[in-house]
Copies of this chain bind each other. A is one copy, B any other.
Amino acid sequence: MIKRIGFLGPTGTYTEEASLKYDQTADLMPFSTISSIGQAVSSGLINQGVVPIENSLEGSVTFTLDLLISQSGLFISDEIVLPIQHYLLGLPGIHFPDIEVIYSHPQALAQCQTFLDQCFPKATRTASLSTVAAVTDMRNSQIPAAAIAPKRAAKLHNVEIIGQDIQDNSNNVTRFVVLAPQDHDRTGFDKTSICFSFNQDSPGVLYDVLGEFAERKINLAKIESRPTKELLGQYIFLVDCEGHREEPLVNKALSLISERANMFKILGSYPRWDS
């Protein structure tokens, strides 16, 4: 049976590109929101869902973190890391000097600022709802226009690539996670994501928790906090550590942490992305 994978759409987004990198044989279905992907995985409508969780310039995608924290029966079963490369797209035959307006998502416009300042100092920059919507906006424009979008959007919309890799910072990378009803078996090169909170603040609690990892020489890949949404100043901590939850040392650390915590959830063990 062909696997059904949902992704944050529309067709042509970086999330679709990540999904294709993850599984070329699956049946890919676009969804309009991150939470609708979570629901579709839980209800069995799709087998897995691909959503962004972190960008090297912007930081965490808080919608994804909050979904993982709050929705039961939803786990991370894989991760995908994708370099974000912006392309300048135009209608066939257009020339640089003719372009008067550049469409894209505000984030993409901001990420290509130096390129735009140098090559299009006089062009108007106009916000689109997404980098894919920018291509449609460009097509519908009454005055000569270009769009900043993913490479794949050029093929899908039958427009020309007139500039490639135009982002100012070459360290623009997004990490995606695969959401599934269960996490991944041990591979020997894994990481584990957990979240937890405490009943009360005290100087030592978070320190003691991190000590369970340090004591066992378990490397931490990430630590992040999100509001509990109950009281300002109370947080849910999200920690990524190296190793699989079934490895004895990791298992021991997690069970000691769960004893101290008010809320504790294993978000999943899954293979580390090897670039």
A residues near B (Cβ < 8 Å) are: 54-59, 62, 81, 169, 171, 173, 175, 201-204, 206-207, 210-211, 213-214, 217-227, 229-233, 235, 237
A85 vs B216: C-alpha distance in the bound complex, in angstroms?
47
**5 contacting pairs across A/B (C-beta < 8 A):** A54-B232, A56-B230, A201-B219, A206-B210, A207-B214
- Complex Cα gap A115–B204 (Å): 41
Q: Which 10 pairs between the two chains have the least Cβ-Cβ distance?
A: A56-B232, A207-B214, A207-B210, A173-B232, A204-B214, A203-B219, A59-B227, A57-B229, A203-B217, A203-B214
Q: How far is the CA of A14 from the CA of B50 in the complex (A)?
A: 36
A227: chain B residues within 8 A (beta carbon): 54-59
User: Is the CB–CB distance between B232 and A175 below 8 Å?
Assistant: yes
Interchain CB contact under 8 A, B203 and A220: yes
Task: Give the distance in Å from the alpha carbon of A223 to the alpha carbon of B231 in the complex.
Answer: 16
Determine the distance from Cα of A22 to Cα of B152 in the docked complex, in whole angstroms.
Answer: 51
* CB-nearest residue of chain B to A219: B203
Contact of A218 among B58, B203, B210, B211 (CB under 8 A): B203
Q: Quick check: B226 and A225 within 8 Å, CB to CB?
A: no
- Which chain B residues border A171 with CB–CB below 8 Å? 229-232
Is the contact region of chain A dominated by helix, strand, or loop, or is it mixed? mixed
Evaluate contact between B233 and A221: CB separation under 8 angstroms. yes
Instruction: Using A206-B210, A223-B235 as known contacts, list a sample of 17 further A-B pairs with CB atoms less than 8 Å apart, ordered by residue number in A.
Output: A54-B232, A56-B232, A58-B62, A171-B229, A171-B230, A175-B232, A201-B221, A203-B213, A203-B218, A203-B220, A204-B214, A207-B207, A207-B210, A207-B211, A207-B213, A210-B210, A224-B224
Q: Is the CB of B229 within 8 A of A206?
A: no
CB contacts (< 8 Å) of A175 on chain B: these are 232
A81 vs chain B, min Cβ distance (A): 7
Which residue from chain B places its CB closest to the CB of A217 in the assembled complex?
Answer: B203
Q: Chain B's nearest CB lies how many Å from the CB of A240?
A: 9
Across the interface, which residues of B come within 8 angstroms of A58, CB to CB? Answer: 62, 227
A223 to chain B: which residues have CB within 8 Å?
206, 223, 225, 235, 237
A219–chain B nearest beta-carbon distance, Å: 5
